[in-house]
Structure 1
Amino acid sequence: MRSAAAVYFGNRDIDRSAVFGLLMCLALLAVGMLAGGKVFNFLDLRSFLLVVGGTFGATLIHCSLSDLANAWLVFRNVWVAASLEPQERIRDLVHLSKRVRANGTLTLEREAQMCSDTFMSKGLELTADGQPEDDIRRILETDLRASGEQAARAIAVFETLGSYAPALGLIGTLMGLVEMLGELQNPAAIGPAMSLALITTLYGAVLANLVFLPIAGKLRLQASEESTVRTLTIEGILSLRREENPIILEQRLQSFIPNPLNSGIGR
């Protein structure tokens, strides 16, 4: 059994599914390009600058620099696995509840100092200090809302990028078609114009559907999981403050988990 000091959001592991998905996409793209034997046909600097530059430029109009900076900070979470599963957090809270019942809430002071999860640590400190239950709930729920808003803004940025990338690809396609129609009397110019028309669409579709939208979806899932863990953490902290029975605490916290995951601590 893990020690109480090592159960809260320890070292984060690489998310294997995210890395595997990225490698799979890169491999399939490489196979698709190599199958034709001419990889350089898929490389066009003008198309790349138009789609990437235009997408980020339009997003800057839509969002702010601080939103983009926040999205970059949150983006790093895509590649790391969840720090703690809900059942693990319940198990930890039940363990602490038994210690509080035996030794009182002052025993949480040492646990708070050794806890690497700042949210959990703050709750334990407030409980060990004997703060009123309403104050503990208000402070922790404020932190929960703040983290949720930060995640929501980051998700909105990547969804915006995902919506503009195909549009910029379409703009590049139209530009290429206009160039092609203007050079019908010059067969040598038709090829580059058609290349711009098609490659910009390809770049826009790849960026939207293999980069920006999957990132937004992953961040939304992570935000939901974090919200669940933090919500049941708040209830667990308040139960520690009341020195409730560990069995009652476990039953209450299990109600926060969807039924397929709600398997109980002892089963």
Structure 2
Amino acid sequence: MIAEGLYMDIATIIGFTVCMVALIGSIVTSADIIIFYDLPSALLVGLGVIGGTFIKWPMEVLKDAGKYCMKMIFFTPADPVETINEIGKLAETARRESVFALEKVPIEDAFLKKAMALAADNRPPEVISSILQLEIDAMAGRHKTGADFMDGVADSGPAFGMLGTLIGLVIMLQNLSDPSSIGPAMAVAILTTLYGSIISNVFAIPMKNKLSVRSSDEVLKMNIIIAGTLGIVAGENPRLIKEKLNSFLPPSQRSLDGMEGDGAAAGGGAEKGKE
């Protein structure tokens, strides 16, 4: 953890390092690394990707490009187990005191805090669900924009690499009578494809996938909060609420820890008696 609630994604660092070691290592052990550098090829692919991205997206999206990249490395984890345990404690508070007491409970998560405030305001369940679902949809839309942005970069890299290949082939075919020009022309033709592939497969596609995973985790946590809030509003037993919320998780992650024992167990026994 590098700051309060902010963590560094070690997997991203390891993956990027392994990719670069594989690329550079394969080059260094087989040839002189300088032959893999060609300024015209780098300019064509690099500036082409940047220019194409500017054409595709408005400035409101482009100004967040750095933020999308930073989310690859730094993130706030969406821990569903911790969320379920916290909702279980809030359900105990609502059962022991009243749903109105939830407004006084200190809650760090902004979405959970909003959900408990709506519950404490005695809003109808359908209104609570509608308001919170709208927020999930808006957040998912923003996250999709980030993933689509990286997807566009992933498409542009190989596309401009292919353009460079065609340019290099044209130059080579026009100068077949001059053997000294064939080498530089072939370098442009081949290296642009290499550069475009690196941009796409080492950077853009992993970024897109990582952003999509982060978004899915966040949406899962928020759906858990909605289900838990509706259970609290309905006056369900805290243990039953946790059992329902655990259904969102794979069996290996499910837990009933964090309940306040006797009251919950008694309530659970009452529920079984009703069955």
Give yes or no for contact 1:165–1:207 (8 Å, CA) kept in 2: yes
The separation in 1 between residues aligned to 2:12 and 2:252, in whole angstroms, is 22
1:148 corresponding residue in structure 2: 140
The separation in 2 between residues aligned to 1:260 and 1:52, in whole angstroms, is 46
Give yes or no for contact 1:158–1:212 (8 Å, CA) kept in 2: yes
Give 2:96's match in structure 1, choosing from 96, 102, 120. Answer: 102
The separation in 2 between residues aligned to 1:218 and 1:260, in whole angstroms, is 24
Q: 1:152 to 1:128 in 2, by over 3 A?
A: same
1:265 corresponding residue in structure 2: 256
The separation in 1 between residues aligned to 2:136 and 2:81, in whole angstroms, is 19
Tell me, what secondary structure is at the counterpart of 1:32?
A: helix
1:224 corresponding residue in structure 2: 216
Give the drift of 1:82: 5.2
1:198-226 deviations in whole A, cap 9, x for unaligned? Answer: 11010011111111111111111111111
Give yes or no for contact 1:137–1:238 (8 Å, CA) kept in 2: yes
Equivalent residues in 2 for 1:25-36 (5 A)? 25-36=19-30
The separation in 1 between residues aligned to 2:126 and 2:17, in whole angstroms, is 48
Give the drift of 1:124: 2.0
Matching of residue 169 in structure 1 with residue 126 in structure 2: no
Tell me, what secondary structure is at the counterpart of 1:84?
A: coil
Give yes or no for contact 1:14–1:81 (8 Å, CA) kept in 2: yes
Q: 1:44 to 1:260 in 2, by over 3 A?
A: farther
- The one-letter code matched in structure 2 to 1:43 is Y
Query: Which deviates the most, 99-108 or 71-80?
Result: 71-80
Give 2:62's match in structure 1, choosing from 68, 72, 79. Answer: 68
1:5 corresponding residue in structure 2: none
1:121 corresponding residue in structure 2: 113
The separation in 2 between residues aligned to 1:245 and 1:76, in whole angstroms, is 41
1:4 corresponding residue in structure 2: none
Matching of residue 256 in structure 1 with residue 254 in structure 2: no
1:146-174 deviations in whole A, cap 9, x for unaligned? Answer: 00011111111111111121111011011
1:41-81 deviations in whole A, cap 9, x for unaligned? Answer: 22222211211221232233333222333454333222135
TM superposition outliers: structure 1 runs of 4+ over 6 Å = none
Give yes or no for contact 2:85–2:257 (8 Å, CA) kept in 1: no
Consecutive unaligned residues of structure 1, counting only runs of 5 or more, are 1-9
Give yes or no for contact 1:47–1:200 (8 Å, CA) kept in 2: yes
TM-score (ref. length: structure 2): 0.85
Give the drift of 1:266: 4.3
TM-score (ref. length: structure 1): 0.87
Give yes or no for contact 1:68–1:154 (8 Å, CA) kept in 2: no
Give yes or no for contact 1:71–1:155 (8 Å, CA) kept in 2: no
Give yes or no for contact 1:87–1:265 (8 Å, CA) kept in 2: no
Q: Identity of aligned pairs, percent?
A: 29
Give yes or no for contact 2:5–2:76 (8 Å, CA) kept in 1: no
2:176 corresponding residue in structure 1: 184
Give yes or no for contact 2:243–2:256 (8 Å, CA) kept in 1: no
Give 2:15's match in structure 1, choosing from 4, 21, 24. Answer: 21
Give yes or no for contact 2:78–2:217 (8 Å, CA) kept in 1: no
Give the drift of 1:132: 3.1
Consecutive unaligned residues of structure 2, counting only runs of 5 or more, are 259-275
Q: May I ask how many residue pairs the two structures share in their alignment?
A: 256
